[in-house]
Amino acid sequence: MGEELKGKIALVTGASSGIGRATGVRFAQEGAQVVLVGRDRAALSATAAEISQGGGEAFAVIGDVTVEADAERIVRETLDDFERLDVLVNAAGILANGTIETTSLAAWDEMLNVNLRAVFHLTHLAVPHLERTRGNVVNVSSVTGLRSFPGVLAYCVSKAGVDQLTRCAALELAPKGIRVNAVNPGVVVTQVHRRGGMDEEKYETFLEHSKSTHPLGRVGEAREVAELILFLASERASWITGATYSIDGGRAQTCAR
């Protein structure tokens, strides 16, 4: 185990799977005490167990980040248990298909509530505590926040919103010593596409096609994104704020295909 985050308290949302889970595990490997947030109790417990087996410390908090009372409770329980907060990682997110013509208002609201509103609210709640520790925030955005893609309208807009929230919050919080950054992954192997409605056959076809849309010729892994999140959360990135970091195998450099 490393010590890059030794003594730090990190709150990670979406920690039951994908990038959130990989981030929680990686942070614990570097000595952080990790508060894992998610809605799936069994999956969250599995993440906590993986961390414990590796000699780390993790604490699961079941909650829905879109519910205001839950968000308030998540931050309150973290402070009740640890009396401080050093890092907030907003990794919870959803993805669904839909165009300007086919996206319902309900689907639009759900996407923006999970992917953007909840990020704002948790950051808002965390600011007073991060100010005391001169802590930082890392948001999980997407290549779709930087480039437009057809068929995932609400998702693209939500992630573009996360990017602008990151930049604006970074400017506003810099005088308090709080850094705010985002990572913008390309296609990463997680559960988000399956949960968005892809069956296994379509998902495998999508992953195969993605080899050609990413210049490096492959999709990414959650652990690779977690490594970048670790860097941005660490003292190595102490002079970086307001950045939206592409980690996408070159996807953002290409034209639509």
CATH number, residue 230: 3.40.50.720
Amino acid at the residue 85:
L
pLDDT at 68 over 80: yes
- Active-site annotation, residues: 155
Beta partners for residue 36, in sequence order: 12, 60
Asked, for residue 72, whether it belongs to a domain, the answer is yes
Band the pLDDT of 205: cuts 50, 70, 90: confident
The three-state secondary structure class of 166 is helix
Q: What does pLDDT average to over the chain?
A: 95
Asked, for residue 53, whether it belongs to a domain, the answer is yes
Asked, for residue 47, whether it belongs to a domain, the answer is yes
The model's pLDDT over 51-65, given as tens digits with 9 standing for 90+, comes to 999 999 999 999 999
Asked, for residue 198, whether it belongs to a domain, the answer is no
pLDDT at 197 over 80: no
Asked, for residue 199, whether it belongs to a domain, the answer is no
For the whole model, what pTM was predicted?
Answer: 0.94
Number of domains in the chain: 1
Q: What percent of the chain has pLDDT over 70?
A: 97
List CB contacts of 134: < 8 A, sequence separation 6 or more: 176, 177, 178
Residue whose entry in the numeric block shows the structure tokens 């890059």:
4
The three-state secondary structure class of 147 is coil
Instruction: Give the mean pLDDT of 59-79.
Output: 98
The model's pLDDT over 173-183, given as tens digits with 9 standing for 90+, comes to 999 999 999 99
Asked, for residue 93, whether it belongs to a domain, the answer is yes
Question: What whole-number distance in Å separates Cα of residue 238 and Cα of residue 154?
Answer: 33
Structure tokens at 256: 């639509």
Asked, for residue 197, whether it belongs to a domain, the answer is no
pLDDT at 79 over 90: yes
Instruction: Give the mean pLDDT of 3-21.
Output: 97
Asked, for residue 52, whether it belongs to a domain, the answer is yes
What is the domain extent for residue 118? 9-191+222-247
Amino acid at the residue 35:
V
Residue whose entry in the numeric block shows the structure tokens 């959803």:
94
The model's pLDDT over 150-176, given as tens digits with 9 standing for 90+, comes to 999 999 999 999 999 999 999 999 999
> Residue 51 has what pLDDT?
97
DSSP assigned state of 116: I
